Amino acid sequence: MSERKLYLVRSRIDNESYFSGNRMIPNWSDHLTTLFGSYEVAKEIAEDNNGQPVTFVEEPKKEAVSESVGGAIDSLINADTYVQAAAALNYLFASRKKKDFKRIMKAIRNGYTVKKNQYRVLAPKSWWYDDDAPLYLFFDFNDGMRFTVKKDNPSTLFTKEQLSAFGLDGAPFTKEEVTDDGE
């Protein structure tokens, strides 16, 4: 969210209508509004039209977290006792990296969405070209299922539903769950 603020002019008469229009033709509406980039301009128009300036607040972007972290955040928010809150806090923040700590704090403060667990699929070791270079499966819409040694390719990530649909959820393939930090 940017630091720049926007302002609306709200009617003092009903507190539900907002200024929409220009200085010459004022219009009050509950649908159309005019945003001002300057508090001084909004204040001037409000004084001329029996209104009041108010800050327009943009809803912050929700943070994407894993299902387990989302459950822990819910447990923390809905805790009835200190013991329950302490257990959730311990799970959320014990042994976390600084970037994870900040991300979880943003999720608690701004809200969150649960992202689906993702997996990388390793080909059987007998298929590898070199013992030190594992082969990962990846899906390309043009060429279908292929192999790559590039672990960081986004096309190497599969959801549980995709694993099942492609028949990759059983032998001979090995699945690696991708954690919150991508490793």
Q: Note the pLDDT tens digit of each residue in 83-96.
A: 999 999 888 888 77
- Give residue-wise pLDDT tens across range 113-168: 888 778 888 777 777 777 777 777 777 777 777 777 777 777 778 777 878 777 77
Residues 171 and 131 in one domain: yes
- The encoded tokens of residue 141 equal 């819409």
3-state secondary structure the chain: CCCCCEEEEEECCCCCCEECCCCCCCCEECCCCCCECCHHHHHHHHHHCCEEEEEECCCCCCEEECHHHHHHHHHHHCCCCHHHHHHHHHHHHCCCCHHHHHHHHHHHHHCEEECCCEEEEECCHHHCCECCECCEEEEECCCEEEEECCCCCHHHEEEHHHHHHHCCCCCCCEEEEECCCCC
67, 16: one domain: no
Question: Which of 91-95, 98-102, 151-155, 171-175 is least confident?
Answer: 151-155
Q: The domain containing residue 151 runs over which residues?
A: 118-178
Q: Are residues 35 and 67 in the same domain?
A: no
Q: How many CA atoms lie within 13 A of 63 on its CB side?
A: 20
Residue 73: inside a domain: yes
What is the model's pLDDT at position 28?
A: 65
Residues 172 and 122 in one domain: yes
Q: Do 36 and 86 fall into the same domain?
A: no
- Do 171 and 134 lie in one domain? The reply is yes
Instruction: Say yes or no: 122 and 174 in one domain.
Output: yes
Question: Is residue 183 domain-resident?
Answer: no
pTM, to two decimals: 0.47
Domain count, the chain: 3
pLDDT at 138: 79
Residue pair 20/28 in contact (Cβ under 8 Å)? The answer is yes
